Amino acid sequence: MLRDLTRALAQLGEIAILTVRAFLALVKPPYELGLWVRQMEALGVRSLVVALISMLFTGMVLALQSAYALPELGVKYYVGTLVSKSLTRELAPVLTALIVGGRIGSGMTAELGTMKVTEQIDALRSMAFDPVKKLVAPRLAATLIMLPLLVILGNVVGIIGGLLVTVYQLNVAMGVYLNDVMGELTYGDVLSGLGKTVFFAYFIAIIACYNGLNARGGADGVGRATTNTVVGASISILISDYFLTKLFFIFES
Amino acid sequence: MSSLFEIKELTKSYGERLILDRLSFEIERGECLVILGRSGSGKSVTLRQLNGLERPDSGSVLFDGVDITDLEEKDLYGVRRRVAMLFQSGALFDSMSVLDNIAYPVREHTDLDEHEVVEIVEQKLRLVDLEGVLDRMPADLSGGMRKRVALARSLALDPEVVLFDEPTTGLDPTTSATIARLIKSTQLELGVTCVVVTHDLSLARTTATKLAFLDSGRFRFWGTWSEADASDDTLLQDFLHGREHHDGNE
Ligand SMILES: Nc1ncnc2c1ncn2[C@@H]1O[C@H](COP(=O)(O)OP(=O)(O)OP(=O)(O)O)[C@@H](O)[C@H]1O
Ligand SMILES: [Mg+2]
């Protein structure tokens, strides 16, 4: 128990060091823009479709649930508010981070972990390269840029999902829904969601890279590291979500 | 003139296990030192101290008169461009073609034009007797070819020293002999100082100008082949003849 605790604290320390080194590598020239773009492509391609489908259905479900949960209050005329606020503030950031995070995070860990156990990382170091600059920084940059973009698209698609259900199932005029969304959705809603997303992106990338770089013991070890990334990223997203929500409420009021 | 490497009282343990126990030795320019030892005796650990991939718990490593033991990672870059390493598995970047693998250090560390880079790559590939593989991916190469491409990559920046970690492990005897010949010619024709870690005795026979036998964290033997053959150390003799060793404890 005590051993586990010290081990966990040591890991947090190592992650903190990796964070500092990765951000320093990001801001210090030469900028490896080519590597960033390649990572952004990989990340976008790997997760765009699944992220958008999830958000479309999340928006649809939100509309259904809210209308059926409280029918007597005439809630169906306010579905636009409900859908857009819950999506932008909470569901799009968290669900996208969880889905995409599991997907790209585990991909990153598997990739870096394989490089680690086949000595490719050591080979980089032995040729006078910094693996943090060459491998971690581009992945961090790509996640920090792409995840918020995915969330923005997810917001739009989710609101469209809500619209479809509102119009075709609840028989509310499209104008009512759209007016509601436009009238009630604020910059604060969208920005607080995106603010959280940036933190989620950091957690995903840094945990994935850390686990990859520290994988040991062949294919087995890489598998274990990958699982650790999915668990670690999900938990830190869900826990930090609570605190970030509180934090953004303070900022907004 | 002083030795190229001077290693003093090198000590390293992992957890409770002492792997290197006050190891001291020197490596001369132009020689080929072969370090023999049983699996897990700490050969790779020793090798990885020579270019600072790992740090010792205590003791020091001097390269060309400079103490590199406590250098920061980025201050080791100068050393690593002069001391190349060939890894046990080859460690080719499997997302890159053969051309890109060998060109990688050249492109990143020099300002040469692309056609000069390709010329260097082709020249290094000729050194290891390979041609027409520029566009192949590492996954499509045989184990022996991968090792040779890795050797070409480690020679890309014309290093003064190459560290070889088990260059023949997993290869058939014929391919092993090819690798041994290439190591020998790297040493003799390019004047590169070689440090080879292995338990392949025929590799050691062909390449070693000096032999070391690592056991229990220390060099139990250090000398030339003729001295090794004349040695009356039974542990060494058993190792050199591939016999099981029996002492009081077993
Ligand atoms: N990073 C590490 N963490 C913990 N233990 C390690 C580490 N690196 C090496 N060891 C241990 O140190 C010992 C020596 O390892 P080393 O890799 O040098 O052996 P070796 O002589 O190269 O053997 P082999 O012929 O199997 O490659 C082994 O028991 C290994 O388990
Ligand atoms: Mg080894």
Assess B84–A contact: CB distance below 8 Å, yes or no: yes
pTM here is: 0.89
Instruction: Say whether pLDDT at A212 is over 50.
Output: yes
Q: Which ligand is nearest to the CA of B46?
A: 1
The pLDDT of A150-159, averaged and rounded, is: 94
Residue A245 lies in a domain: yes
- Convert the pLDDT of each residue in B5-49 to its tens digit: 999 999 999 988 999 999 999 999 999 999 999 888 999 999 999
Shortest alpha-carbon distance between residue B230 and chain A (Å): 37
Tell me, what's the pLDDT at B240?
Answer: 87
Atom of ligand 1 nearest to the CA of B48: 18
Determine contact, residues A198/A152, Cβ cutoff 8 Å. Answer: no
* Ligand 1 contacts CB of residue B203 (under 6 A): no
Contact B87 A123 (CB under 8 A): yes
Residue A227 lies in a domain: yes
- Residue among A131, A56, A65, A51 at smallest CA distance from A95: A51
Residue A7 lies in a domain: no
Instruction: Say whether pLDDT at A73 is over 80.
Output: no
* Ligand 1 contacts CB of residue B147 (under 6 A): no
Residue A28 lies in a domain: no
Across chain B, what does the average pLDDT equal? 89
ipTM associated with this complex: 0.90
Structural domain total, chain A: 1
Start-to-end CA span in chain A (Å): 42
Domain span holding position A138: 36-252
C-alpha–C-alpha distance, residues A216 and A221, integer Å: 5
| 3-state class (DSSP) for residue A49 | helix
In A, residues 85-144, which contact B (CB 8 Å cutoff)? Answer: 115, 118-120, 122-123, 125-130
Residue ranges with CB less than 5 Å from ion ligand 2:
B 44
Residues 6+ apart with CB under 8 A from A53: none
Convert A75-105 to b/e letters by CB count within 10 Å (16 or more is b): bbbbbbbbbbbbbbbbbbbbbbbbbbbbbbb
Name the percent of chain B lying above pLDDT 90: 55
Amino acid symbol at A58: T
Instruction: Say whether pLDDT at A71 is over 90.
Output: no
Residue A29 lies in a domain: no
C-alpha–C-alpha distance, residues A62 and B207, integer Å: 72
Contact B88 A119 (CB under 8 A): yes
The pLDDT of B142-162, averaged and rounded, is: 90
* Element holding A248 (H helix, E strand): helix A218-252
Helix residue ranges, H only, A28-126: 33-69, 79-86, 92-100, 106-117, 120-126
Q: How far is the CA of B42 from the centre of ligand 1 (A)?
A: 5
Residue B122 falls in which region: left (phi positive, over 0), alpha (psi -120 to 50) or beta = alpha
B142: number of CA atoms within 13 Å, CB side? 9
Residues in chain B: 250
Residue A11 lies in a domain: no
Residue of B33 and A183 predicted with greater confidence: B33
Closest-CA residue of chain A to B76: A128
Amino acid symbol at B103: A
Q: Which ligand is nearest to the CA of B214?
A: 1
Assess B50–A contact: CB distance below 8 Å, yes or no: no
Contact B84 A126 (CB under 8 A): yes
Q: How far is the CA of B99 from the centre of ligand 1 (A)?
A: 32
Q: How far is the CA of A72 from the centre of ligand 1 (A)?
A: 71
Instruction: Say whether pLDDT at B68 is over 50.
Output: yes
The pLDDT of B103-122, averaged and rounded, is: 91
Residue A19 lies in a domain: no
Residues in chain A: 253
Residue A6 lies in a domain: no
Residues 6+ apart with CB under 8 A from B205: B225
Tell me, what's the pLDDT at A131?
Answer: 93
Which sign does the torsion angle of CA A196, A202, A204, A207 carry? negative
Strands, sheet with B161-165, edge to edge from the N-terminal-most edge strand: B83-86, B161-165, B193-198, B32-37, B210-215, B218-223
Question: Pick from B88, B91, B108: which is nearest to A129 by CB?
Answer: B108
In B, residues 152-191, which contact A (CB 8 Å cutoff)? Answer: 157
For residue B194, CA distances in Å to A24, B67, B143 come to 36, 20, 21
For residue B150, CA distances in Å to A158, A199, A234, B97 come to 50, 40, 39, 12
- Convert the pLDDT of each residue in A26-61 to its tens digit: 888 888 888 888 888 888 888 899 999 999 999 999
